[in-house]
Structure 1
Amino acid sequence: MGKKTTHKFKAEVSQLLDILVHSLYTNKEIFLRELVSNASDALEKVRFMTTAEGGQDDTPLEIRIEADKDARTITITDTGVGMTRDELMKNIGTIAHSGTAELTRMAQEGKAPLDALIGRFGVGFYSVYMVADEVEVTTRSIEPDAAPVAWTSDGKNDYKLQDIDDATGENGGESMARGTRIVVRLKEDLASQFTNTAHLKSVIKKHSNFINFPILVDGERVNTVTALWREPKFQITGDQYAEFYKFLTYDSEDPLDTLHTSVDAPVQFNALMFTPKTGGDPFGMNRENRGLDLYVRRVLIEKQNKDLLPEYLGFIKGVVDTEDLPLNISRETLQDNLLIRKISSTLVKQVLDNLEKIAKDDADRYAEFWHAHGTLFKAGYMDFLNKDKFGRLVRFNSSASPSASSGATGLASFADYLSRAREGQKEIYYAYGPSREALGLSPHLEVFRKKGLEVLYLFEPIDEFVMDALRDFDGHALVAAEHADMATLDGFETLEQDEQAAPLNDEQKSTLDKLLSRIKDVLGEAVTEVKVSRRLSGSPVCLANPDGNVTSSMDKIMRVISKDTSIPKKVLEVNPDHALVRNMLTIFEKDALDPFIDQAANQLFESALLLEGYLTDPHALVGRVQDLLTKSSGWYVDSKK
């Protein structure tokens, strides 16, 4: 054995190590990730040197991990580049260099998250002291004639360096080969956990599964899955992508779509992203189960990182691997990291561009995507940086669609709508309702049916926010049907002619004004105004918001948010050509105080409330209907005699 020398740590090192061990890592298994990553870097250097020099080396490039329960040790051995005595002091001794005082001061003063500092100062190796009473590092450099050297420390006050006799090996046996061996003597309370082979394998699979060299735990290779995102796309088959997707997500089905990308600027990274066939969270109860796995040089940094893709793209599963981030970077630093923001910006653009391509090339496949993920995707109305792309990708049901089927024919884009628009049409009209059937009965849409104007159907509350955020598409304003300008609609030719009632003469018009005033007196403060409608043809009345800005459906949403259960005061619009209104006019002409006017006014108002979804107590309405049916049935019986 060679001469052993002892080197004192600086005075503050003990304090610093205490901070690192007890405050830096919340998950003690991270130490194994750090040691395996260091071993992988050493092996990568060997491969680079061998390739650059054109030489050959039969030594297998691998990492071996062995556990000894009786000795309470874990041994991590690699056949990498190794270190000379000077390199050992420089690399592992970094913590004793001048940066130590600054690191300690910054950690104590809380000026930066501790995880953010370890990458800067290179102290990731020392995470091993979370689990170790003592660590011994034995290494031999790839440099010619380099002798083996051993480094030993308990991580408290000092470390020992010892040269090893190259002729006999450290114990008089076979000479040590190139590489590094780290023997971790575990703390007693952690020995059973970290000498458990099954646990070690699970840790490797979690953090280091895609290291580019074999990792053997007690002789069995653990990392058997290829880092597919690092492979050239033209060499990968669809079956390989599907297999990797299932490994990553535990989904039994193949993915709906795969996006494999490699980016060199502004940040270098590789990404492999998948779109599942199903949403997997129909009730929105598992919103946190999203995000891409973030790797740095094949080493897992964070599972399901939430910052790489916005929430509305949370259906995307996959991995991102970059060379540009430090291996030891904290979650706090990731959130504020400029590189992460650049990667995110690029990923979002690529995902949206890919969806546009699918929509253009395969409408049925895009429809399948939309039915699986459209509800979540619509939350992208808040992504103002990608407003135009988002606007091209959203889909709705439509009055021009044959049904709300699951196929592409049940969906309409804004571009589809404009391709069917009437000549001179400058607006895109939409209406919210619980179903196609409900919207088919909506009084507000009668004029659109007469004019042959398409209306987009909104079935989900979020659709209102989408329209409000987008405002327009390709120079065409998005307008709620109930707020459409009647002067604009009058400019379009009427395609469906209803049976026309005889025009009112001047005397009847005057009487109608009095009837509307009488209806207002009957309804009192329940309505703000009663006026003649220009939009109705098949319905006798409808309700409209007095301000003309907020739609009925948005008003309901706001009331739910504010917990307002009152019935809003609206304008009652009356169709003067409807048979019921004409009958009311005749009755009013004979007797302005006829109780039927009161009964009909209340009935029409509550029926309108029912259609709008505001009627909370239907008892009066039901009683009134029964009374009217009783009276009318007598007339009907007499007419059959």
Structure 2
Amino acid sequence: MTAAAHETHEFRTEVQKLLHIITHSLYTNREIFLRELVSNASDALDKLRFFQSRGDAVANPDLPLDITITVDKDARILRIADTGVGMTRQELIDNLGTIARSGSERFMAEHGMGQGLNGGAKAGAAAGDADGEAASSTSAAPTDAASIIGRFGVGFYSVFMVADTVKVTSRSCQPGATAHVWESDGSGSFSVAEVDGASDAAAPARGTIIEAHIKEDASEFLERHRLEAIVRTHSNFLPFPIMVEGERVNTTPALWREPKFTVTAQQYEDFYKYLTFDSGAPLETIHVSVDAPVQFTALMFVPPHGQELFGMGRDRWGLDLYVRRVLIQRENKDLLPEYLSFVKGVVDTEDLPLNISRETLQENVVIRKIGQTVTKQVLGHLEKLAASDADKYAEFWRGHGKVFKLGHTDWANREKFAGLLRCNTSHHDDAKGLSSLDDYIGRAREGQKDIWYISAPNREAARLNPHLEIFRKKGLEVLFLYEPIDEFVMDALGNYKDFALKAVEHADAATLDAFPTVEERKEAEPLAESDAPAFDALLARMKDLLGDKVTEVRVSHRLSDSPACLVSPDGSVTSSMEKLLKVMQRDESIPKKVLEVNRDHPILRNLLRIHKADPADPMVESATLQLFEASLLLEGYLADPHALVGRLYGLLEQAGGWYAEVKKL
């Protein structure tokens, strides 16, 4: 039995339908057609410059290399002309008559120019650029045509989104070449003819002129201001002058493509102002060129202050993504993590997997690699700044510290992130002082293995917090955390180098007792052994009076100045974290905590005397409730202070009477 014969067939194409798809479904924004035509013109100029660099003879070598855009409103014609390499009759047929045939791609292949991400033309890294700094594309382009943009061979047909008919008149750069005109209405056919003698004067001396007859519903593209805006948005950094109605539009150079040592501080400042609309200079400039693991150049700036105004514009962040100087996406949020969202700038890569319309990214693997590298570059730059100029880094921290703290979730850069954190601490004289975790470790007591922190709304509240008293007594430095996110940061880090990050509320008494006392003070007389049972009875009475408002009343080993404080019974979370979680859960209940009392405080000693004389004395109840509600007030849980204030007035009235009697006033 013989096997059935196999027949091989080629795919067929309905050209008219394919053109309809390209012009009506491929692009989401009609203004993209101008970007495509201008990019094609730039490619033609790059090719000509390549030939000139090899010493090839070209027609009219003195013609300036530029792109001109003009409008004839009466005739509804938009013209885009270039003085580039031009096309012969056959090239017009091949390049414009064959859909998906890229003349630029064929040019690169014929002249041995790879297009791979790591093996092809390089955007900004010139040979010998050992420091990884951005090198000039203008110096590289004449020999390797690195700036050639075209790849897919369909961009030209986007013009039919806005045009009824298109006429392309082109003259090859070959000496003595004749001009030819290609014409089509985009319905599936075209014509090519040699320009006759009478019309030759209107043909380009070298290069190409595209004449698009604009549709009625696309009249906006006959307006000069609209054309200028499109060029500035998508093609502003192409290396050749783009003239709209005789005036150059792309006046801002692509500084990221220039060698770092050739760019002045004023140029960086001007570009920063152009990019951000800020009125001042950037705080820091980061200019890099990277060859591995992916190839790209980047120019980034750290503004001197946050860009938000009353919380507006929080989503307006990200780096602008370019491919060979052509804008692909504004504010790409995959190039930097949110905690570095204050960074402004551009990234330009040689080869990125885009969809055929070049409007969106086809996949994110390359972008992720670029993003990881950019993140490391920014963090490395901040590390150098912190090491070389502490005052300038402090300025950075005051402007962007709140946003930077979001980096506590960046596990890949955990150590770098932690080293860049800054906090006010008990070591400083005021709230303006800042210390790093390394600074804290450098001042740590002998044998200390913990970095202690406390959360408070401000420095004064932190200093007066009862939990801080034993740390002051032992001379242990404490970080002051003023922002709600700070505890999440400390909890996420867990430790730094060989030190554990711990809240003062979770301090172990035995650990702290091991440190010698540095703040000597007059200690209270020790409680007599005979009074120990009486004090236990007082604690029991206080627990009865408070009922289920507290889980326990016990003697504190952390207080020295304050009479009482509240602590979490399980020690799992700090008071401030617990309060924050309750706000997030919209839980307004008051948590049940342990009331710790300072047995050596005069208030407790006097209360012991009163309780020993008469356990039912109303002063015991008033003082107990006052201590509890005062502690609640310090914790931020006292919703209604009226009872506390009324009781306070009563106690002051009694105290004033007793004081007058003692003084015999």
Decide whether the 8 Å contact of 1:352 with 1:389 is kept in 2.
yes
Q: Deviations over 1:399-427 (max 9, x none)?
A: 0011112xxxx101000000110001000
- Equivalence map 1:331-350=2 (5 Å): 333-334=360-361, 336-350=363-377
Cα pair distance change 1:386/1:611, threshold 3 Å:
same
- Equivalence map 1:282-293=2 (5 Å): 283-293=310-320
- Equivalence map 1:415-426=2 (5 Å): 415-426=438-449
1:15 to 14, 17, 27: 17
Amino acid at match of 2:19: L
Decide whether the 8 Å contact of 2:27 with 2:359 is kept in 1.
no
User: In structure 1, what is the Cα distance between the partners aligned to 2:357 and 2:448?
Assistant: 54
Considering fraction of residues, name the structure with more helix. 1
Partner of 1:6: none
Partner of 1:202: 229
- Report how far residue 138 of structure 1 moved: 2.0
User: In structure 1, what is the Cα distance between the partners aligned to 2:498 and 2:619?
Assistant: 50
Amino acid at match of 1:186: I
Q: Does 1:159 align with 2:194?
A: no
User: In structure 2, what is the Cα distance between the partners aligned to 1:348 and 1:198?
Assistant: 37
Alignment partner of 2:327: what SS? strand
- Equivalence map 1:186-265=2 (5 Å): 186-191=214-219, 193-265=220-292
Alignment partner of 2:201: what SS? coil
Decide whether the 8 Å contact of 1:94 with 1:123 is kept in 2.
no
Q: Does 1:122 align with 2:131?
A: no
1:28 to 25, 30, 55: 30
1:83 to 73, 82, 87: 87
User: In structure 2, what is the Cα distance between the partners aligned to 1:64 and 1:256?
Assistant: 38
State how many pairs are aligned.
606
Partner of 1:43: 45
Cα pair distance change 1:298/1:119, threshold 3 Å:
closer
- Report how far residue 634 of structure 1 moved: 0.4
1:68 to 69, 72, 77: 72
User: In structure 1, what is the Cα distance between the partners aligned to 2:515 and 2:358?
Assistant: 58
Q: Deviations over 1:360-416 (max 9, x none)?
A: 0000000000001111111111111111100000101100011112xxxx1010000
Decide whether the 8 Å contact of 2:67 with 2:80 is kept in 1.
yes
Alignment partner of 1:622: what SS? helix
User: In structure 2, what is the Cα distance between the partners aligned to 1:513 and 1:411?
Assistant: 45
User: In structure 2, what is the Cα distance between the partners aligned to 1:523 and 1:335?
Assistant: 65
Partner of 2:514: 491
Decide whether the 8 Å contact of 2:494 with 2:500 is kept in 1.
yes
Cα pair distance change 1:327/1:33, threshold 3 Å:
farther
User: Which range moves more in the overlay, 496-505 or 605-614?
Assistant: 496-505
1:401 to 406, 428, 432: 428
2:165 to 125, 134, 143: 134
1:173 to 197, 201, 205: 201
User: In structure 2, what is the Cα distance between the partners aligned to 1:603 and 1:384?
Assistant: 46
Cα pair distance change 1:97/1:58, threshold 3 Å:
closer
User: In structure 2, what is the Cα distance between the partners aligned to 1:360 and 1:423?
Assistant: 25
Decide whether the 8 Å contact of 2:543 with 2:553 is kept in 1.
yes
User: In structure 2, what is the Cα distance between the partners aligned to 1:591 and 1:12?
Assistant: 105
Cα pair distance change 1:90/1:172, threshold 3 Å:
closer
Cα pair distance change 1:524/1:616, threshold 3 Å:
same
User: In structure 2, what is the Cα distance between the partners aligned to 1:71 and 1:603?
Assistant: 89
Q: CA RMSD in A?
A: 2.2
- Report how far residue 11 of structure 1 moved: 5.3
TM-score where L is the length of structure 1: 0.91
Q: Does 1:588 align with 2:616?
A: no
Q: Deviations over 1:301-331 (max 9, x none)?
A: 1122221111111111111111112676679
- Report how far residue 54 of structure 1 moved: 6.6
Identity among equivalent pairs (%): 60
User: In structure 1, what is the Cα distance between the partners aligned to 2:508 and 2:638?
Assistant: 28
Cα pair distance change 1:461/1:329, threshold 3 Å:
farther
Amino acid at match of 2:238: I
Decide whether the 8 Å contact of 1:530 with 1:572 is kept in 2.
yes
1:316 to 337, 343, 367: 343
User: Which range moves more in the overlay, 418-427 or 494-503?
Assistant: 494-503
TM-score where L is the length of structure 2: 0.87
User: In structure 1, what is the Cα distance between the partners aligned to 2:399 and 2:357?
Assistant: 34
Partner of 2:137: none
Cα pair distance change 1:23/1:421, threshold 3 Å:
same
User: In structure 2, what is the Cα distance between the partners aligned to 1:60 and 1:72?
Assistant: 27
- Report how far residue 151 of structure 1 moved: 2.2
Alignment partner of 1:477: what SS? strand
Decide whether the 8 Å contact of 2:95 with 2:101 is kept in 1.
no
Alignment partner of 1:274: what SS? strand
Partner of 2:106: none
User: In structure 2, what is the Cα distance between the partners aligned to 1:121 and 1:211?
Assistant: 19
